[in-house]
Amino acid sequence: MQKLLTRLQRFRTGSPLSFRLLAYILLFSSLFTLISSAAQIYSDYRKDLSQIDRRMKVIETGYTSSLARSLWALDQKLLQTQLEGILSLPDIVHLRLKIEPDSELIMGEIPRDTKTTTHTFDLNHQGDDMFTLGQLTVTADLKRVYSDMRRKVVVVLTTQFFKTFFISILIIWIFQHFVARHLSTMASYARNFSLNNLAQPLQLDRPDTSLNRSDELAQVTEAINQMRERLNDDLERQERDAEEIRKFSKAIEQSPSSVLICDRQWRIEFANQKFTQLTGYDAETIIGKHPGVLSEEAHAHRENRQLWQSIRLQVQRVGVWQGEINSVRKNGERFWEQLIVTPIKNSKGEATGYLILGEDISIRKRYEQQLLRQANYDILTGLPNRMLALDRLKLALAQARRESSLVGVMFLDLDNFKHINDTLGHDAGDNLLIEAARRISSCLRGTSTVARLGGDEFLVILPGLTGPEATSQVAERILKTFAPPYLLNGQEVFVTTSIGIAIFPNDSDNSGNLLQHADAAMYQAKHKGKSAYAHFAPEMTEVSHERLQME
């Protein structure tokens, strides 16, 4: 018994599905057997009772007339013989005959502790009149009926139990052979399934027939193998995608431009190594911050807040922002940076973040400023050159037209400069020009401009004048500054200058004509004996034309 329980427990643990199936089969089969057996036994029980009832009816129909005749003839012996015949019938155990008027005849004995059934009928004599001779009560014992019923219950239950048990065992064996063992194979395959054995398909140990290829187990097996193939394809695609992601990640990390990736709220999510090198901020310390508030300067915060507000609006409207900003490194050093800001969109076209590319253009800015200075300033003296001087003159004339003021134009030429250059050398000449530019500049106020037109020629622009006499005052100051000697190559040299003056709009309202008139006035000053200044007069134009024709 213990061994049977051990095997049953092992079966329950090893094959729980089969064990539950067996339990359900036994349970429902037993219930069905009990119901069907109970119905069958009850039917047989009713048949036995009906048989006893029919026997009672037979006694009534078969013995009524003969018993009535015996009572009428008072033939006691015959009556007793008839009663004994009735008593000898199956299941009849007791007879009670009441004889009118007050006698009684009893035969047999009613057993104790058992159920009985009785049947009573009258004994009548039919003559000219109907006479009631007596009443016979027949008692039948139901012991045999109940005994047969108990025996049938035992036999039926035992038979049905063994039949159900063996059928259940057969069903379980069939289930184990055709289903459960393959499910166990699938479970074992699933437990051992990993990324290392994707190439091994699931195979069931059963014949390869058309029925087996189309049943549910084959469908599940095919589904698992298809899942394995899809997983294998997904892994290969994932490896390719991961390689692409690694490549793009390396490209971003090793990019020569600084890269910032922000979320929808412009909070920094990623910063590459170039950004750290460029700004000095560690990526870990700026994660979650806005790119415009990295600096700790309150003034920089206000400027950056307005700048990034305009950047955000343009990116939302146009889709890109590109420009140059003056950024601040972590150590407080400022540098020029070129930024490109674009949104990062998903498959639906919605912005999920923002990409900020930056490049240090400080060197380029310095080159641009140097080129701009070279294009607009004299390299030797640092004064504005002819091009910048003409631009400032045009601006001064435009402002004078609006304000109804005067503009003075002074044309200066150093006297005997060629002689200095030839005798003392070009280095001395250059030093002379530098010192002359300094002396001229010292005589002017902040809004005035002094420019070198080339060689030893200088141009002075005096905007916002109230009267022509102001130009004379400036000219006198310049002549006084030229009075002290110049020290060239350890030798004192006296150099003077001649100044020609033209006034807008008195002499002309055109910048080109003003320069020509100032040049003509300068030649007039030279004819005066040098170290002098002269205002333009209309007749100087004719003298200038005559001199040009003579030359």
Q: Do 461 and 518 meet the contact criterion of CB atoms below 8 Å apart?
A: no
Separation of alpha carbons 175 and 177, rounded Å? 6
| Half-sphere CA count of 318, side-chain side, radius 13 A | 12
CA proximity to 449, closest of 435, 432, 464: 464
**Considering all CA atoms of the chain, what is the largest pairwise distance in Å, rounded to the nearest integer?**
205
Q: Do 429 and 421 meet the contact criterion of CB atoms below 8 Å apart?
A: yes
**Which one from 141, 360, 378, 456 is the annotated catalytic residue?**
456
Per-residue tokens: 268 = 């920094």
Separation of alpha carbons 329 and 300, rounded Å? 11
- Beta-carbon contacts of 182 under 8 Å, excluding residues fewer than 6 positions away, are 204, 205, 206, 217
Burial of residue 272, with CB atoms counted within 10 A of its CB: 0-12 exposed, 13-18 middle, 19 or more buried:
buried
Separation of alpha carbons 42 and 152, rounded Å? 10
Separation of alpha carbons 375 and 153, rounded Å? 125
Separation of alpha carbons 432 and 437, rounded Å? 9
C-alpha triplet 261, 269, 320: angle, nearest 5°: 25
Q: Do 339 and 347 meet the contact criterion of CB atoms below 8 Å apart?
A: no
Separation of alpha carbons 409 and 406, rounded Å? 10
3-state secondary structure of 498: strand
Cα-based distances in Å from 119 to 56, 80, 135, 136, 450: 7, 19, 11, 8, 157
Per-residue tokens: 534 = 């002269």
Q: Which amino acid is at 153?
A: V
Separation of alpha carbons 343 and 339, rounded Å? 13
Establish whether 507 is a catalytic residue: no
Q: Do 412 and 523 meet the contact criterion of CB atoms below 8 Å apart?
A: no
Per-residue tokens: 198 = 């994707």
Task: Please list the helix, strand and coil fractions of the chain in percent, rounded to the nearest 5, in that order.
Answer: 55, 20, 20
- Three-state secondary structure string covering 195-238: HHHCCCCCCCCCCCCHHHHHCHHHHHHHHHHHHHHHHHHHHHHH
| Catalytic (active-site) positions | 456
